Amino acid sequence: MAANRNSAEVGSPAAKPAFAKPSVTAGIYIHIPFCEKKCFYCDFYSIENHSQRDEFVNSLIREIELFSQSHSRLEADTIFFGGGTPSLLSAKELDTILNVLHRHFDITEDAEFTMECNPGTVNTEHLSDYRQLGVNRLSFGVQSFFDDELSFLSRIHNSKEAVEAIESARAAGFDNINIDLIYALPNQSKPRLAANLEKAVALNPTHISAYSLIVEPGTPLFSAVANGKVHTLDEATEAKMYESVMTFLEEAGYNHYEVSNYSRPGFECKHNLKYWNGEEYVGFGPSAHSHVSNTRWWNVSNLTGYIASLANNRTPISAKENLSKSQIVDEYVLLHLRQGKVDLKTLRAKFGITLESDFILEMNKAGYLNVSGDEIRLTRAGFTVCDEIAEEILAKHSVSV
């Protein structure tokens, strides 16, 4: 299948039949590399200097055009504007980008269209414009409902603005809303975590992403931890907090469908599921990643370099890799386990791999896995050591081929 798709993608647009039905359905990711202020803990590519904003939009358009000249036309059933802070985009800028996407992709009528929003950058009018342009899902980086926690994270919004942003989204006609939370902050107490979860659930979003604070190399947070100015929680406390997040959100009716993601039934993020299920997606903008036909590539994480490449009609790709069978299998096991389950029958049928049972039985006995027929499922305790279990499975069963 991959080889067929590869060969179909080569060729000039002029050689394509005018009404050829797209053979591949992908997700589209657009990276907006601007933020009002860089957060203390963040390692996503974004900058505070907005002076090249017009050049960025023109370059983004050029990148989409260049992609479509070298690939056969794709159907897209998800669009995700991430960043950075996509909610800094004006309606006019968004409209311009969408017109180009519609020219070069067949976007399905029921496509999920997500826009990440910083609560400090939106109001009802702004969000109504997005709604009218087809955005149907908003993802808010709320992180906490406590002002001191927000100020530790150096967010630009306060808790009142976070609540107002969700209310504005509802007033603008959005009913599919995600709230991002960060927990396991230094000194965060359990009642604080519980209060954050209660406040999030009280706003009745369709989706909640709850991440523990990760100390990413290269961030100011990393230096602060290294210098002893910030003390992170110990692993056992963090694991207990994670278990309480799972319990609370599941009891509140949210389905835990990925390590850090919870949704009302039917409101899983379709775009992110593409990443986790090894499906196809095309990313545009600095640092954006793509995966088509078992090839993965990613763009330069540098706005000036991105603009310069496209000004010379060169794609801004930083590196490209053809996925080996062993990478595909490893990622399949890891990413499915992170979704809570691995179907052994699919593993056999897809890759001809049988997992030996000793380790699985050991994990079952220890309370980390439930085994039922051909399916292994993580328990709540299993989720707290999910990556370690995946690593052991991959090492013990030599599934790397």
Applying CB under 6 A, which residues contact ligand SF4? Answer: 35, 38-39, 42, 44, 46, 83-85, 118, 141
Q: Which is nearer to ligand SF4, 157 or 207 (CB)?
A: 157
CB of 42 to ligand SF4, least distance (A): 3
Q: Give 352's contacts (C-beta < 8 A, 6+ positions apart).
A: none
Give alpha helix (H) positions in 90-137: 91-104, 124-132
Sheet containing 341-343: which strands, arranged edge to edge?
A: 341-343, 375-378, 369-372
Given the complex with ligand SF4, which of 140 and 368 has the nearer CB atom? Answer: 140
Q: Alpha helix (H) ranges present in 156-253?
A: 159-171, 190-202, 220-226, 235-251
Least CB distance to ligand SF4 at residue 181 (A): 13
Least CB distance to ligand SF4 at residue 218 (A): 13
Answer for the pair 141, 187: CB distance below 8 angstroms, yes or no: no
* Minimum CB distance to ligand SF4, residue 148 (Å): 17
CA–CA gap between residue 217 and residue 42 (Å, rounded): 10
Cβ proximity to ligand SF4, 85 vs 293, nearer residue = 85
Q: Which is nearer to ligand SF4, 186 or 220 (CB)?
A: 220
The interaxial angle of helices 325-337 and 344-351, nearest 10 deg, is 170
Q: How far is the CB of 35 from ligand SF4 (least distance, A)?
A: 3
Cβ neighbours of residue 165 closer than 8 Å, sequence gap 6 or more: 117, 119, 122, 140, 142, 157
Smallest distance, ligand SF4 to C-beta of residue 83, A: 5
Check if the beta carbon of residue 368 is closer than 8 Å to that of residue 285: no
Residue 16 identity: K
Closest distance between ligand SF4 and the C-beta of residue 157, in Å? Answer: 9
Q: Which is nearer to ligand SF4, 88 or 135 (CB)?
A: 88
Cβ closer to ligand SF4: 141 or 382? 141
137, β-bridge pairs: 114
